[in-house]
Amino acid sequence: MKNLKKIVYITAVAAALLLVTVCIFNTLRSQKLLNGALEDDARGDLSISEDSTDIEVEDGLVRLATDAELGNMDIAKNTDSYYIALNVFERLVDVEQNEDGSSKIVPSLAKEWKVSDDGKKYSFTLKDDACFSDGTPLTAEDVEFSLTRLLTVPDSEQKAFTDMIEGAEELQNGEETALRGIEVIDDSHIDISLKEAFPSFVSMLGSPACSILSKKSVTAAGDSYGTDIRYIIGSGPYIITENSDSFCRMELNPFYKGDEPSVKKAEVRVMVPAVMDREFRKGRLDILDLEYVNPEAVSFYIDNEVYKNRLVAKENVEIISLMLNTKTAPLDNIKVRKAIQYAINRERIINEVYGGYAELTDGIIPKGLMGYNKKLQGWLKYDPVKAKELLKEAGIGQRDVIELAISSTADTALQKFTALIQEDLTAVGLNAVLVVYDKESRLHLRRTGQIMAYQFQWIADYNDPDNFFYTIFGSKDAAERYSSNYADEDTINRIIKARNITDFEKRMAEYST
């Protein structure tokens, strides 16, 4: 099955963002274990653990687990279940990752495309046999509908993926009723015109957010779209046959036009990490993502001879950071934000929370992402003495509270991550407290810019710095949505202009010099 998504800045565009987040690291690699269940001669192999038991499993089924509620499958609103969307829907293009971490764009629903000389107009030709899992043809009208919907659906988390299209602002403001920059030529041809040249546009169209939906099924579903599986219609290799907040079952799409996957059925269950670990050892899970389990369990599997030939590892293009709300006192004081940077012992977090399987990142651009510059790493040092000096200069002490927000459903790693930061901030004289919210309240407060500080994690949707700079900080709307409330107009304008630079070297230089 396809895969499913860590900030201190030093670059020209990002210099003013320096004290909005505290980058902890990017994970060194994503590691997954294949159980005996995936081996031809070893389903439920008793050698994996003395607790293992023989379990009868239907042919062709792969069993997986995640720690995030599955819930709503509306790709415009749910950013927690990308790996399901990637298997149910298709996009105009796909982005394939090479073994060395680089990536390339390959055709998917669009078999070919042309770009105008000024870089503003894209003309796509769709595959002749494209169709949805209900047998209905997939046409250019569905493409238009899907991309437009990212701007218009209430509570959309994905506006940044189409707001560069001509007429996007007017559509969102209610001045126009259709997205002017998209023109359906016929069932197989569609033109998309941008406000300005955006060199990464095609790459971005391979993101999960740009999945192509069935206009007919989404319209028929109305407000129930995303929760009623009868209307979750895609053109990808799988269909959803069962779905709830804690369980999803997928089976082969009989109308899928690509190569038939080796996995015929898949079940995804929501579990806390300790239960995932136990179920895997008992042979009740076929794949265990080691990002979910505690460091002791990771070490157990990596050091165990039984598992050495079952470990699959890949680099993650990802950052984990502490997001700070620049609008809330005392975080509205730049010296306080800078003190927090110096106060956090990031290496301790890497070792104690993630078992050493990560590396420090001193910038918004993680290793593996286009524009990453190794020469810009290593400048941020753990310096609690400097942190105390800055807090003294700012007149900040125990009376000033720093609220570290965490969800009541947070896994062990996130709890430990937040607790260690609380210890570090307390050690330099800040009154750091943990504030626990239920998942829905935390999400609402974050989206409305009211969270004071929290763990922020971002996995690259497409291979370009724009996905980090613009998506997170490129507008006041985005800044509020992720509760940074960053509002420096000069920097925001530079971020917007940077995405339109057509000369590759100049654009990368704007991000990283």
278-292: pLDDT as tens digits: 999 999 999 888 878
- The C-alpha atoms of residue 229 and residue 226 are separated, in whole angstroms, by 7
- The C-alpha atoms of residue 382 and residue 364 are separated, in whole angstroms, by 18
Average pLDDT, the chain: 85
- Which residues does 132 contact at the CB level (< 8 Å), separation at least 6? 138, 214, 217, 233, 234, 235, 255
pLDDT in tens, 33-47: 555 434 433 333 323
CA-CA distances (angstroms) from residue 5 to 69, 70, 83, 161?
15, 15, 9, 16
Higher-confidence residue: 106 or 302? 106
Answer whether residue 259 shows pLDDT above 80. Answer: yes
pTM of structure: 0.78
Angle between helices 384-394 and 334-343 (to 10 degrees): 160
pLDDT in tens, 452-478: 999 999 888 888 999 999 999 998 888
- The C-alpha atoms of residue 301 and residue 313 are separated, in whole angstroms, by 13
What pLDDT does 290 receive?
84
Higher-confidence residue: 28 or 290? 290
What pLDDT does 6 receive?
25
What pLDDT does 487 receive?
86
Lowest mean pLDDT among 97-101, 216-220, 313-317: 97-101
Answer whether residue 208 shows pLDDT above 50. Answer: yes
Higher-confidence residue: 363 or 93? 93
- The C-alpha atoms of residue 318 and residue 365 are separated, in whole angstroms, by 9
pLDDT in tens, 217-227: 999 999 889 98
What pLDDT does 296 receive?
79
What pLDDT does 80 receive?
66
- The answer to whether residues 71 and 85 touch, using CB atoms and an 8 Å cutoff, is no
- When pLDDT is averaged across residues 407-413 and rounded to a whole number, the result is 84
In one-letter notation, the amino acid at residue 150 is L
Question: What is the token pair recorded at 251?
Answer: 């089976």
Lowest mean pLDDT among 37-46, 191-200, 271-280: 37-46
Q: Which SS3 state, helix, strand or coil, does residue 238 take? A: strand
- When pLDDT is averaged across residues 396-408 and rounded to a whole number, the result is 90
Tell me which residue of 401, 396, 362, 356 sits closest to 382, measured CA to CA.
362
What pLDDT does 122 receive?
98
Percent of the chain with pLDDT over 70: 87
- The C-alpha atoms of residue 435 and residue 362 are separated, in whole angstroms, by 27
Answer whether residue 391 shows pLDDT above 60. Answer: yes
Answer whether residue 99 shows pLDDT above 90. Answer: no
- The C-alpha atoms of residue 462 and residue 479 are separated, in whole angstroms, by 20
Q: With bands split at pLDDT 50, 70 and 90, how would you rate the model's confidence at 386?
A: very high
Higher-confidence residue: 83 or 205? 205
Q: H-helix or E-strand containing 417?
A: helix 412-427
What pLDDT does 29 receive?
42
DSSP per-residue letters across 340-365: HHHH--HHHHHHHHHTT-EE---SSS
Lowest mean pLDDT among 15-19, 137-141, 419-423: 15-19
Number of separate helices (H) and strands (E) present in the chain: 16, 19
DSSP β-bridge partners for residue 431: 401
Question: What is the token pair recorded at 317?
Answer: 């293009």
- When pLDDT is averaged across residues 206-231 and rounded to a whole number, the result is 94
Residue 328 CB-half CA count within 13 A: 18
Answer whether residue 426 shows pLDDT above 90. Answer: yes
Higher-confidence residue: 250 or 355? 250
Q: H-helix or E-strand containing 505?
A: helix 504-512
Higher-confidence residue: 19 or 93? 93
Q: With bands split at pLDDT 50, 70 and 90, how would you rate the model's confidence at 364?
A: confident
